[in-house]
Amino acid sequence: MTWRTTDRRFKCCVVFATAVFTYACSAPPDPRRTNFEIKGKDTTAKYDPKTGRLKRIDTDLNKNGRMETFSYWDGARVLRIEIDKDEDGKIDRWEHYNDQNKVDRVGSSSKDDEVEDTWTYPDERGFLARVDSDTDRDGTVDKREIFVPRDGAPDGRVLSIVELGLDKAGKPARRLHYRPDGSFEKSEVLR
Ligand SMILES: [Ca+2]
Ligand SMILES: [Ca+2]
Ligand SMILES: [Ca+2]
């Protein structure tokens, strides 16, 4: 997934996070009385039997009778939200959260086979900042795209740098630079 220019924001995460946080923070029935699972109409919440802490919420967000959104929790902290957007039984979006319950990165699968190989990072304002890819799917990110604000459009983003051949330490073999208008500027060979 590559955007040369984009206005994309991470709005959907915010909407969903608000919905599940509202759920997580409202006082559920005592989970010890419900075998550590509480079923609602569109939501099932599961609790750790040992600690009683919230572990997971399954949600039918679009209310069509099928759960497609699965969030993983440690008490009031959301760790990860997995979403099967097209409801084909395979997860296609992984939202990873930091310790402030904010989106750190969003994972996706380029082959739609439930293997995360692309991660999109927002900046502090929620705009696209970076895309990391594991193009050969060996478990190590090998490509990085960096986006910057577009000239004259503070809410727009444009691709600025592409790093290729990243090693395990994250050092690139090549770096491509793009001008603010999106045109190619130069290529550096780094090793
Ligand atoms: Ca659904
Ligand atoms: Ca799917
Ligand atoms: Ca790789």
Do 95 and 155 fall into the same domain? Answer: yes
* pLDDT tens digits, one per residue of 20-66: 656 665 666 677 777 899 998 899 999 999 998 999 999 999 999 99
Quote the number of domains for the chain: 2
Q: Which residues contact 150 (CB under 8 A, 6 or more apart)?
A: 5, 156, 157, 158, 180
CA 17 – CA 24 distance, rounded (Å): 10
Do 21 and 91 fall into the same domain? Answer: no
Do 70 and 2 fall into the same domain? Answer: no
Do 81 and 152 fall into the same domain? Answer: yes
Tell me: pLDDT of 17 over 70: no
Tell me which residue range forms the domain holding 12. 1-30
Q: How much of the chain exceeds pLDDT 70, in percent? A: 85
pLDDT at 128: 95
Ligand number nearest CA of 117 is 3
Ligand number nearest CA of 86 is 2
Do 44 and 116 fall into the same domain? Answer: yes
Question: Could you tell me the distance, in angstroms and rounded to a whole number, from the CA of residue 117 to the centre of ligand 3?
Answer: 9
Do 14 and 100 fall into the same domain? Answer: no
Do 39 and 24 fall into the same domain? Answer: no
3-state DSSP assignment of residue 40:
coil
Question: Could you tell me the distance, in angstroms and rounded to a whole number, from the CA of residue 93 to the centre of ligand 2?
Answer: 8
Ligand number nearest CA of 58 is 1
Question: Could you tell me the distance, in angstroms and rounded to a whole number, from the CA of residue 139 to the centre of ligand 2?
Answer: 21
Do 36 and 113 fall into the same domain? Answer: yes
Do 50 and 10 fall into the same domain? Answer: no
Ligand number nearest CA of 84 is 2
* pLDDT tens digits, one per residue of 91-136: 999 999 999 889 999 999 999 999 999 999 999 888 999 999 999 9
Angle among Cα 188, 169, 73 to the nearest 5 degrees reads 125
Do 23 and 98 fall into the same domain? Answer: no
CA 66 – CA 1 distance, rounded (Å): 28
- Residue pair 60/68 in contact (Cβ under 8 Å)? The answer is yes
* Domain CATH number, residue 58: 3.90.930
Question: Could you tell me the distance, in angstroms and rounded to a whole number, from the CA of residue 92 to the centre of ligand 2?
Answer: 5
pLDDT at 54: 92
pLDDT at 16: 58
